[in-house]
Amino acid sequence: MPLPAQAAQGPIQPGLYASRDGDSPVILKILQNWAPAVSHYFDKEHYTYAGQHIVIQESIEHYGAVVWPGALALSQYLESNQERFNLKDKKVLEIGAGTGLVSIVASILGAYVTATDLPEVLENLSFNISRNTHHMNVHKPEVRKLVWGESLNEDFPLSTYHYDFILASDVVYHHTALDALLATMVYFCQPGTVLLWANKFRFSTDYEFLEQLSNIFDTSILAEFPESNVKLLKATVREN
Ligand SMILES: C[S@@+](CC[C@H](N)C(=O)[O-])C[C@H]1O[C@@H](n2cnc3c(N)ncnc32)[C@H](O)[C@@H]1O
């Protein structure tokens, strides 16, 4: 499946690096002095949302360690629609948070944020969220493991956890956990909850997921970003 920017050529293995000699193709050489590190960082991206400069550390290690177009669309939308979707003091859960950009924007906009993802993504996610919010007067965001469809009743019992907003960007792509993702959205999207989901539409499976979501929830398209083929949808519990 396509990956954004640098990641499109596939991950460079630990211990290898790319070099270019004259016109010869890129070759990989063993880096003799390479030492293992927890993460292999390769880039920082700079953004400004809600008047704040945000620096996102990316990594080649994982899909969740680069900023995807859905995250940019959702961040921009939240910033521009603060009256329609006022996040101040609201409880917000982000699923598949990746680098944390959307969670950081939600936090800057005043929400109580819980950013979640797979265990292997949490280190970079925590790092980004902490570095961009620790100096600010915001509700301290939380970072937690949440594997779609797994242990939800145990880890997030509905008697304790009710969210005003569920945020999700580019969580639908070519993977095998789409049923578990839908079940997770159904679990957290309770009466009164608004699910805001931004996604780049590439594959027929993306549209099939949208159809499934629309069969369960009241859905509407809030915005479209034709240059990136991203749609931003709102879903709420059906009212009949
Ligand atoms: C394409 S990335 C999008 C990341 C981020 N939301 C963005 O838009 O930049 C998909 C995210 O979903 C997470 N993810 C994939 N499968 C998952 C699963 N079964 N449970 C929880 N998170 C998952 C990945 O770790 C990754 O962070």
pLDDT surpasses 50 at 39: no
**Average pLDDT over every residue of 212-217:** 97
- Per-residue pLDDT band for 88 (boundaries 50, 70, 90) equals very high
pLDDT at 121: 93
- Ordered by start, the domain boundaries in the chain are 39-237
Taking the centre of ligand 1 as the mean of its atom positions, its distance from the CA of residue 73, in whole angstroms, is: 16
What is the average pLDDT score of the chain? 85
pLDDT surpasses 80 at 17: no
Query: Is the distance from the beta carbon of residue 173 to the nearest atom of ligand 1 less than 6 Å?
Result: yes
pLDDT at 64: 72
- Per-residue pLDDT band for 10 (boundaries 50, 70, 90) equals very low
**Average pLDDT over every residue of 88-104:** 97
pLDDT at 42: 58
The DSSP string of the chain is ----GGGGG-PPPTTEEEE--TTSPPEEEE-TT----S--EEEEEEEEETTEEEEEEEESS-GGGS--HHHHHHHHHHHHTTTTS--TT-EEEESS-TTSHHHHHHHHTT-EEEEEE-GGGHHHHHHHHHHHHTTSSSPPPEEEE--TTSSHHHHS-TTT---SEEEEES--SS-S-HHHHHHHHHHH--TT-EEEEEEE--SHHHHHHHHHHHHHEEEEEEEEETTTTEEEEEEEE---
Query: Is the distance from the beta carbon of residue 223 to the nearest atom of ligand 1 less than 6 Å?
Result: no
Query: Is the distance from the beta carbon of residue 235 to the nearest atom of ligand 1 less than 6 Å?
Result: no
Query: Is the distance from the beta carbon of residue 177 to the nearest atom of ligand 1 less than 6 Å?
Result: yes
- Per-residue pLDDT band for 153 (boundaries 50, 70, 90) equals very high
pLDDT surpasses 50 at 30: no
Ligand 1, atom 10: nearest CA belongs to which residue? Answer: 171
Query: Is the distance from the beta carbon of residue 141 to the nearest atom of ligand 1 less than 6 Å?
Result: no
- Per-residue pLDDT band for 21 (boundaries 50, 70, 90) equals very low
pLDDT surpasses 50 at 13: no
Taking the centre of ligand 1 as the mean of its atom positions, its distance from the CA of residue 164, in whole angstroms, is: 21
Fold exhibited by the domain 39-237: Rossmann fold (3.40.50)
Query: Is the distance from the beta carbon of residue 64 to the nearest atom of ligand 1 less than 6 Å?
Result: yes
